[in-house]
Structure 1
Amino acid sequence: MLATEIKKIGAHYTPDSLSIFIADKLKHYYLLENKNQTDKKITILDPSCGEGNLLLAFQKASKDFNYTGLGIDINAEAIETAKEKLQSDSFEFYTDDFLSIFKEPDLFNTNTLIEKVKNIDLIIANPPYIRTSVLGANYAQQLSSAFNLSGKLDMYQVFLKAMTMTLKDNGIICVITPNKYLTNKSGKDIRKYLNTHYKILNIIDLGDTKPFSAAVLPAIFIGKKQENADNKHVPFTKVYESADQISSLNVIPNISELINQADGIYSFKGNNFKVTHGVLDASSDPTTPWNMATIKEKRWADTLLENSAYKFGDVFKVHVGIKTTADNVFIRKSWNNLDQSIRPEQAVLHDLVSSKGITKWFPKLQNLNQILYTHTVKDGKRVPIDFSKYPHAYSYLKENEKQLASRKYVINAHRNWFEIWVPQQPSELDSNKVIFPDISDRAKFTYDDHGRYVDGNCYWLTAKKGIPNDYLLLATGVANSETMERYYNIKFQNVLYNGRKRYLTQYVKDYLLPPIDNKHSQKIIELVKKIIKCQQYDENIERSINQEVKYAFGLIN
């Protein structure tokens, strides 16, 4: 892929107010770590400078500094714009791919760019937002090899390593990246890398403030290059949209001022945002997401943990839903509008709960689809259905054979062309379960005792062997409670735009259950049974469940 195409896909230039904020932060931490020394000759680099917004902000913020600036970008037009903006002999600009210096160093004259990016004092950057899978397998493989990275890569990961290689010891970096490495299990390698190579000075999670047009939630990382520093007390700030309805909020005009506000809720861009400041431990096990919570929040969560009997993962199996890889063939709202000769037999059709059909407590029956399911259980094992017993269903599948057989991964796995790709276990799908959507703006845990099947945009819980069904009922009440929603917000913090959350296995398996023989737990089970039986939302019952959950966890006496 051409360098210009890479930039076209990944470029989202930094807004002026955010550029100024970042430049001020970089200056602040440089002076803090260098005892206010400004006369020393230093170098500053932006390796993906675009139109120069970040370098221009630094120029304005650091007029008393003695520095040389270096801007690199693969977009020639952007470089020309940057030159016009800065108009200073203190800056040099190059149209090039910064990463190629490390990928293919022999392409460069050793007296020019490759020498200039060595031992940099300051780095200010907003690397392209793009998955390396978009770049093509060859380019991604070259980057993986050059930077010793594995798995699915994001360009920001590559840039972080490349920038670290150019930064001198004790140099300062201030960089905007996607925030997912903070809280996702998949971010463990980057968390470990940053903790190993930096004294982490500050982390700012900008959440869903939407400073860019990209569908990315950004964060600002500020660090001093220092091996194996003490990162047990890293200052952080996070800003996320809040559902709290508060009158007469202060209206904040720009994102930089919003970040600088004290803890509280503020109006910004017509929405309410909660600003939180605190300290996180970045030195702990990298497989554990960095927990950006205040001391008060951590104490509350610790109380919940101390008064719990189990984590969900102790007593439940967490499953992902069925993935057909041909939903248009296997899933329909109604099969009755098909000609009778190809209308599948009822024995192979099953009600299917999807994210659109979920509410708290019970599914919306009018929103259920039906799935033509291709597997059954024989001698305790999952096997494909013998469709000779269901001629209408087989005729329907034959009409769609061209599409289904084109799924080469099914054929290569020595599976029948008509099979659902990820069918899960029919025996478990037929059992009692708790179903919840992958993405939702609030908890929506549905109890199912009708053997409904589960779509791929949902997850579901089943009780492990020997665990009574009451545990599923208790889990439904606890997972839907205000208490567990707050626990999620403190412990996991994986929030998308507009307050939507990811209810992934890695989070839900760590949800907590109080002792089941607790009288309040028994009351929760009784109330959940009541609300499920009537199949109608009842605000009073839900209020009672919320109260009993607090009692069960010892949050109130």
Structure 2
Amino acid sequence: ENLKFFVSANLTLFDFDEKEATKEFVNLKKEYDNIFNLESNHPFEWRFEFPEILDDDGNFKGFDLIIGNPPYIRQEELKELKPHLAKNYKVYKGTSDIYTYFYELGFNVLKDNGVLSYITSNKYTRAGYGEALREFLLKNVKVLEYTDLNGIKVFDSATVDTSILCFEKSKSKDNKFKYLALSNEILKTCAYDIGLYKDFAEFSQNSLSKESFTFSDENTSALKAKIERIGTPLKEWQGLNIYRGILTGYNEAFIITTEKRNEILANCKDEAEKERTAKLIRKMLRGRDIKRYSYEWAGLWVIGTFPSLKLDIEQYPALKQYLSQFLPRIEQSGEKGCRKKTSNKWFETQDNIAYYEEFEKEKIVWNRISSDLCFSYDNQKNFILDSMFSITFYSNINLKYLIANLNSSISKFWIKNNAATLGDGIYGAKIYIEKLPIPKINSKNQKLVDELINLVDEILKAKEQNKNASTQELENKINSLTYKLYNLTEDEIKIIVNKEQKWKI
């Protein structure tokens, strides 16, 4: 009654909802109890537990050492925190996972010359969202050690690749730090005590940049720089487009077998409807269908009801009947058990896909995450899913020249040294592939270009005749030609070959 009297006395413009107000009051009381019952919950007050980090006047001096395993929470779950993070952290990036902010927080509570050591996801070293953090670290700390755990499972519940960064809160113009790419073999050698391992590599902190933390020896770094000097990043090629595949929001409804496609078409009332419907159901490729140069179609189709087409579903009764059985699951309302909230209609795909016509062109396709990044040539108008990307051209550039380079050992070397890794896999997202440097075609290299195109034609012909045909000899010839394309020396070729052999182990 007191609550009702208070609210009614103070609210004149809004209706009073007693049920809602009571609910809010209960929540407020819980918060109140939580705050004022802290003492009985045995709170940790570090200023009392560690008085030595305060000076004689009680001012905070900082910790000598911080060791931690910050939480890993994806940025999609941080919506309510983002305004606070943006206001209080220099390393803020809207797409950053929460562990990145703990580096700045740890730095702030370290005393000068104090040491911090964290085990976290290693994605910040190369991902776009890590650029602000990389810049912050390079400006403010002296890296002491970096251990890449190389997909070794440290935590049973963690699905991300991890690394250990150890730094000192000080600056150094020409700092050298220890680096270890950990492997199971190394762990066995030192009886699972890394402290006993002596063969750490040594790198200069000056070799790191805000663009990427790439840990390479001098010869590898020099070779990488040469490749970048001779080639031109794909994003600078006029007429080249890279597109992500189709996000349906619910593949169980929109991806169908040939049998189901035939059933839907058989339910069309006349030939006109059947023709309209057939145009919307397109052959599609999944990531697992992609092989080197070629692909193996699994007999699957995607229902291409793209919002950009502005379709009237009433013109497709058989398709409407099929899709309606998945209601309310395919509603785009954001409600529990439905697809995410969009302005699209229930029968449409989740993404707009205004570029759907690009999939009908000659193109190169690849899976975003793969143990051995493979690029496939497609001129059969296949559509692809959102786990994949495609390259198309609207200028007169031969895609077969491009795919020869993409599948070459040189490209694999460059991608492995620049892209993020996931366990044994490579993360071939657009942000990495568009930076891949490939020599543009000119009068000086035209002969090599023609030879590469001819070899790709031979590979495609062999795969068409027998999908299991061995094309290794042809691919070896392509590698030899690409080495010439980049003017590599015998020593530089050895670096790539040796790296490739290690990746295969």
Same fold (TM over 0.5): yes
Among 496, 500, 506, which residue is 2:422 paired with? 496
What's the CA shift for 1:318? 1.6
Is 1:260 the counterpart of 2:197? The answer is: yes
Name the residue aligned to 1:73. Answer: none
Contact conserved, 1:201 with 1:235, CA < 8 A, in 2?
Answer: yes
For 2:378 and 2:196, locate their aligned partners in 1 and report how far apart those are by CA, in whole Å. 43
For 2:135 and 2:187, locate their aligned partners in 1 and report how far apart those are by CA, in whole Å. 38
**1:398-477 correspondence runs (5 A):** 398-408=324-334, 413-424=342-353, 425-463=355-393, 465-466=394-395, 468-470=396-398, 472-477=399-404
Contact conserved, 1:237 with 1:259, CA < 8 A, in 2?
Answer: no
Name the residue aligned to 2:452. Answer: 524
Query: Unaligned regions of 5+ residues in structure 1, if any?
Result: 1-93, 98-107, 243-247, 264-275, 377-381
Name the residue aligned to 1:533. Answer: 461
**1:320-469 correspondence runs (5 A):** 320-334=244-258, 335-336=260-261, 338=263, 340-341=266-267, 345-365=277-297, 367-375=298-306, 382-408=308-334, 413-424=342-353, 425-463=355-393, 465-466=394-395, 468-469=396-397
Point out the structure with max Rg over C-alpha: 2
For 1:167 and 1:257, locate their aligned partners in 2 and report how far apart those are by CA, in whole Å. 25
Name the residue aligned to 1:194. Answer: 137
Q: Deviations over 1:71-103 (max 9, x none)?
A: xxxxxxxxxxxxxxxxxxxxxxx9757xxxxxx
Contact conserved, 1:363 with 1:446, CA < 8 A, in 2?
Answer: yes
Question: What SS does the corresponding residue of 1:281 show, helix, strand or coil?
Answer: helix
Q: 1:138 to 1:504 in 2, by over 3 A?
A: closer
For 1:433 and 1:258, locate their aligned partners in 2 and report how far apart those are by CA, in whole Å. 50
Q: Report the RMSD for the aligned CA atoms in angstroms.
A: 3.3
What's the CA shift for 1:416? 2.2
Q: 1:141 to 1:368 in 2, by over 3 A?
A: farther
Question: What SS does the corresponding residue of 1:549 show, helix, strand or coil?
Answer: helix
Q: 1:238 to 1:386 in 2, by over 3 A?
A: farther
Name the residue aligned to 1:217. Answer: 161
Letter in 1 for 2:432: Y
Higher mean C-alpha displacement, 181-190 vs 299-308: 299-308
Name the residue aligned to 1:267. Answer: none
Name the residue aligned to 1:312. Answer: 234
Among 86, 93, 109, which residue is 1:166 paired with? 109
Name the residue aligned to 2:27. Answer: none
Question: What SS does the corresponding residue of 2:213 show, helix, strand or coil?
Answer: coil
Contact conserved, 2:306 with 2:351, CA < 8 A, in 1?
Answer: no
Q: 1:253 to 1:235 in 2, by over 3 A?
A: closer
Q: 1:131 to 1:152 in 2, by over 3 A?
A: farther
Contact conserved, 1:232 with 1:283, CA < 8 A, in 2?
Answer: no
Q: 1:183 to 1:552 in 2, by over 3 A?
A: same
Contact conserved, 1:208 with 1:240, CA < 8 A, in 2?
Answer: no
Among 415, 419, 430, which residue is 1:505 paired with? 430
Q: 1:124 to 1:524 in 2, by over 3 A?
A: same
What's the CA shift for 1:292? 0.9
What's the CA shift for 1:256? 4.0
TM-score (norm: length of structure 2): 0.74
Q: Deviations over 1:235-294 (max 9, x none)?
A: 24141659xxxxx9995144444983537xxxxxxxxxxxx543343664x2x0112111
Q: Deviations over 1:446-501 (max 9, x none)?
A: 011111101111111112x32x241x2112111111111112223x152221x211
For 1:151 and 1:486, locate their aligned partners in 2 and report how far apart those are by CA, in whole Å. 31
Question: What SS does the corresponding residue of 1:520 show, helix, strand or coil?
Answer: helix
For 2:173 and 2:358, locate their aligned partners in 1 and report how far apart those are by CA, in whole Å. 44
Q: 1:240 to 1:447 in 2, by over 3 A?
A: farther
Letter in 2 for 1:297: T
For 2:377 and 2:369, locate their aligned partners in 1 and report how far apart those are by CA, in whole Å. 18
What's the CA shift for 1:234? 4.2
Q: 1:369 to 1:96 in 2, by over 3 A?
A: farther
For 2:478 and 2:194, locate their aligned partners in 1 and report how far apart those are by CA, in whole Å. 40
Count of residue pairs brought into register by the alignment: 421
Q: Deviations over 1:326-357 (max 9, x none)?
A: 11110123325746437983221111111111
For 1:259 and 1:520, locate their aligned partners in 2 and report how far apart those are by CA, in whole Å. 50
**1:138-153 correspondence runs (5 A):** 138=80, 147=89, 149-153=92-96
Query: Unaligned regions of 5+ residues in structure 2, if any?
Result: 1-40, 55-59, 491-505
Question: What SS does the corresponding residue of 1:220 show, helix, strand or coil?
Answer: strand
Name the residue aligned to 2:216. Answer: 293
For 2:159 and 2:306, locate their aligned partners in 1 and report how far apart those are by CA, in whole Å. 38
Letter in 2 for 1:397: L
